[in-house]
């Protein structure tokens, strides 16, 4: 069995368990929007993970830059003249950044498999940045759901 097949079967199982849990707790069959939303949430995980790793690399680099000391002309001092904070930040960056980037690249490869699964599971193209429809284009069921949410919030407040 290939890794791709194992990933697909695992994601199918996970999505089906979430849907079964919904049926058990809500007592209703989920609609297509719910199924697509579950698949979308699962598919976004490796994208978010890779982004998180890269954001951390940028924070480490920012720490190096913020620890850099400059001379009167605004030029960075040589490495020998930099303080302990700079060397600590530089060491941490050089030690962790390559590993974190390799992990992010691994998540990128996994994201490709997750995207293929999403398209196979839902029959739709995966778009990472999906914007919600404006309020005036909601269905009657969505409008009723929003009214229920607002009524519940009004009771709490």
> Do the beta carbons of residue 111 and residue 47 sit within 8 Å?
yes
Closest by alpha carbon to 118, among 8, 33, 5, 2? Answer: 8
The pLDDT of residue 140: 81
What secondary structure letter does DSSP report for 128? S
CA 68 from centre of chain: 32
Given pLDDT bands bounded at 50, 70 and 90, which one contains residue 127?
A: confident
Extents of the domains making up the chain = 3-156
In terms of DSSP H, where are the helices of the chain? Answer: 3-26, 32-67, 84-122, 140-156
Across the strands, what pairs with 76? 70
From residue 86, give the alpha-carbon distance in Å to each of 56, 71, 90. Answer: 17, 15, 6
Closest by alpha carbon to 50, among 94, 112, 95, 3? Answer: 112
Record the pTM: 0.72
From residue 110, give the alpha-carbon distance in Å to each of 2, 120, 136, 141. Answer: 14, 15, 37, 36
Whole-number average pLDDT of the chain: 89
Does pLDDT of 102 surpass 90? yes
Write b or e for each residue in 45-56: b if 16 or more Cβ atoms lie within 10 A of its Cβ, otherwise e. Answer: ebbebbeebbee
* Mean pLDDT in residue range 130-149: 73
Given pLDDT bands bounded at 50, 70 and 90, which one contains residue 157?
A: low
The pLDDT of residue 1: 52
pLDDT in tens, 74-92: 888 888 898 999 999 999 9
What secondary structure letter does DSSP report for 79? G
């Amino acid at each position: 069995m290939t890794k791709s097949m194992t990933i697909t079967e695992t994601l199918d199982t996970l999505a089906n368990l979430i849907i079964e849990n919904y049926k058990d707790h809500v007592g209703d069959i989920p609609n297509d929007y719910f199924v697509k939303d579950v698949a979308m949430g699962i598919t976004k995980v490796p994208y978010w993970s890779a982004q998180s790793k890269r954001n951390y690399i940028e924070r480490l680099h920012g720490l190096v830059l913020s620890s850099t000391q400059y001379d009167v002309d605004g030029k960075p001092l040589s490495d020998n003249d930099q303080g302990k904070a700079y060397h600590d930040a530089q060491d941490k960056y050089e030690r962790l950044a390559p590993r974190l980037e390799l992990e992010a690249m691994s998540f990128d490869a996994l994201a490709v498999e997750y995207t293929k699964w999403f398209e196979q599971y839902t029959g739709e193209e995966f778009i990472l940045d999906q914007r919600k429809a404006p309020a005036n284009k909601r269905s009657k069921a969505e409008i009723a759901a929003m009214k229920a949410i607002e009524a519940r919030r009004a009771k709490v407040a």
